Amino acid sequence: DAGITQSPRHKVTETGTPVTLRCHQTENHRYMYWYRQDPGHGLRLIHYSYGVKDTDKGEVSDGYSVSRSKTEDFLLTLESATSSQTSVYFCAISESTGSYEQYFGPGTRLTVT
């Protein structure tokens, strides 16, 4: 299994509070991604990174920010959590894009009350 961990695995927080989710990899892959998974919507890309300090937005980036200060860590921050951000968040990594497969972490279940 690819070495990807996510922390925390479960979190309950209140509306308006900041939340940071962490993804850590031991594979030295260049690309890292944050997705959210919601029933009926499948996987939707929030942000991705193509190197240290290099990030770009995905299709559902509003309300989220990311940072990557080291190759192995990719942080997702909800500046002020809302109930619509209740979801399961997955981190993924890949060596490159195009023909390269993605490896997924175990997910973080976030509930915003």
Partner 1 sequence: AQSVTQLDSQVPVFEEAPVELRCNYSSSVSVYLFWYVQYPNQGLQLLLKYLSGSTLVKGINGFEAEFNKSQTSFHLRKPSVHISDTAEYFCAVSEKAGGSYIPTFGRGTSLIVHP
Closest to partner 1 by CB, 14 vs 68, is: 68
Question: CB 93 → partner 1: shortest distance, Å?
Answer: 11
User: What does the alpha-carbon distance between residue 40 and residue 37 come to, in Å, rounded to a whole number?
Assistant: 9
Quick one: which of 106, 108, 103 has its CA closest to 28?
103
Closest to partner 1 by CB, 17 vs 102, is: 102
Closest to partner 1 by CB, 5 vs 17, is: 5
Closest to partner 1 by CB, 41 vs 80, is: 41
CA atoms within 13 A on the CB side of 24: 6
User: What does the alpha-carbon distance between residue 35 and residue 89 come to, in Å, rounded to a whole number?
Assistant: 6
Residues of this chain that bind partner 1 (CB under 8 A): 4, 33, 35, 40-45, 48, 58, 90, 92, 97-99, 101-107
Question: CB 69 → partner 1: shortest distance, Å?
Answer: 22
- Number of residues in the chain: 113
Cα distances from 7 to residues 36, 40, 90, 100, in angstroms, run: 15, 25, 11, 25
Question: CB 91 → partner 1: shortest distance, Å?
Answer: 8
